[in-house]
Amino acid sequence: MLRQVPAPAKEVVMATRQPTDGSSDVVRPSRTDADRRRQRRVIASGVIGALVVVFALINLNDVKVHWLITTGQTPLIVVIVLAFLLGIVADRLLLARAKRKRERDPEP
């Protein structure tokens, strides 16, 4: 015997009517504050990423680096990229820790 599965609910999109040249109305989805924030965040991330890439490409010289175990010559771009990635990892870990703390100890 086959069981019927209900169809998934359709997404509801809010829309506003904005007249163009007076001849007809065009329906455009309205943008929420969350969409605007998300768009600004994506743009800011892109700009910061581009700046990091440009900065790294300008600094292609080999530098002496004291790693934990050894010392050696490494292109500065590698050092910059590693520092950038370590910063991202540290940021994510600290944000996750703060989120867990907020969930565990909610404010009154």
Residue 18, strand partner residues? 26
pLDDT tops 90 at residue 91: yes
pLDDT tops 70 at residue 58: yes
- Using an 8 Å Cβ cutoff, are 13 and 29 in contact? yes
pTM of the model: 0.48
- Using an 8 Å Cβ cutoff, are 56 and 83 in contact? no
75-90 confidence digits (pLDDT tens): 888 888 888 899 999 9
pLDDT class of 32 with cuts at 50, 70, 90: confident
Buried b (16+ CB within 10 A) or exposed e, 37-70: eeeeeeeeeeeeeeeeeeebeeeeeeeeeeeeee
The average pLDDT across 19-31 equals 59
pLDDT tops 70 at residue 93: yes
Domain range summary for the chain, segments of one domain joined by +: 33-104
Q: What are phi and psi of 49, to 5 degrees?
A: -60, -40
